[in-house]
Amino acid sequence: MSAPLRSWGGYPNAPQGALACHWRERLAADLEAVVRAQGGTLPYGNGRSYGDSCLAASDRVLHMRTLDRFIRADWQQGCVVAEAGVTLAEILALAIPRGWFLPVTPGTQYVTLGGAIGNDVHGKNHHRRGTFGNHVLRFGLLRQGELLSCSPAEHPALFAATIGGLGLTGVIAWAEIRLMPIRSSQVDSTRVRFGNLGEFFALSAELDPCHEYSVAWIDCLARGRQAGRGVFSVGDHARYGRLEVDGRTRRQVHLTPPLSLVNRLSLRAFNALYWRMHPSRRTDRRVDYEPFFYPLDRLRHWNRIYGRRGFQQYQCVIPEAVAEPALHELLGAIAASGQGSFLAVLKRCGAIASPGLLSFPLAGTSLALDFPHRAELAPLFARLDAILREAGGRLYPAKDAHMSGGDFRRAYPAWERLEALRDPALNSRFWRRVTA
């Protein structure tokens, strides 16, 4: 047994006992023994889920990082088969020098392959390539003592339920994914600041169809005619240049302060400065892939800046037809509260359907920002939830620590199909909370 594990957000503060099985020799037998001894468990990847979806109802998780081997790779076709505990960073380290990249990547490269499937992660190119699950060819699922090969043709119901299924249908042992070809590890990007939410939607309508990647940072505290102001970024893989893995030394937050370093004064000053330092005219530049895709990965343990009480992320998606007015309401409520984060992300999602039953994105606009955990969050989140409910939007289970059961069941009507396919040995605090 290793040291206790927690979610990335540190809230709820529910340390998990970690059990790592030597599955290569006795995969099914070891898992069944753990389940019998502990009364249930849950697969746990690299701990980058923010809320309680990665926390076992039994407080005993299976630490998947022990499954960290590559099984085979076809560098002509761009297909990789790896164990579920391999991280996206480890895949990129092999793929980039050979001219391949992940077709979909979230905002951190330190999630495991199994976690990327279980949360059906999405990225800055959802409008072009959908979710991670759209590029999964097959996987091995350990379920009730049997290792099943799942794909759209084999066990299709389990294939769909496992993608975005939060680790509840079984334990992913390995997966095969398809990569995308690149000519350079660098990204040609364009940045421009915008003055309000209306300008964001105008830029998105103009630029999204022309570029692989699109995302915006917004000032969550701006009000009035500047509400929703921010910095818009688009990018494409460079057509020429080097194919190198970024190996620069990362800085680290060594200690967790007793109180959050993110507060009204620091937040307001940072947001105003960050907005003004970006150009008012479109500016082109070539950047390495890490600062473009993974800006927070440059600072290890950045979650510690939120203090011992941790933080919660509010990530929602709103249908296209009502996205702009609903976002005006959401941002108005957030600005009035004086709470929020340095990194507030706004992006458009496309209409490409995911193969997963409980996948988060839909055709519309996604908003994500972090809040230091404090008592004042409860009334703010209640207000935000009411706006989201009226708009027909939904929250992201992988980032959630507060969603009500009613809101979850309304937003994810396929949950009953997942419950019917859930492995009885696997349950999470999140699932127990929203389905009770």
For every residue of 60-99, DSSP letters joined together read: EEEEGGG---EEEEETTTTEEEEETT-BHHHHHHHHGGGT
What confidence tens digit (pLDDT) does each residue in 205-244 have? 999 999 999 999 999 989 999 999 999 999 999 999 999 9
Give the per-residue pLDDT at 283.
Answer: 94
d(CA 63, CA 81): 20
- 251 pLDDT exceeds 70? yes
CB atoms within 10 A of CB 275: 19
What are the φ/ψ torsions at residue 180 (nearest 5 degrees)? -120, 140
Burial bucket for residue 98 (CB in 10 Å: 0-12, 13-18, 19+): middle
How does pLDDT run across 184-202, given as a tens digit for each residue? 999 999 999 999 999 999 9
Q: Is the peptide bond before 257 cis (omega within 30 degrees of 0)?
A: no
Mean pLDDT of 16-29: 63
Q: With 60 as the cut, is the pLDDT of residue 156 above it? A: yes
Is the model's pLDDT at 397 over the cut of 70?
yes
pLDDT digits (tens, 9 = 90+) for 323-350: 999 999 999 999 999 887 778 999 999 9
Q: Which of 33-42, 208-217, 365-374 has the lowest mean pLDDT?
A: 33-42
User: Which pLDDT score is estimated for 270?
Assistant: 84
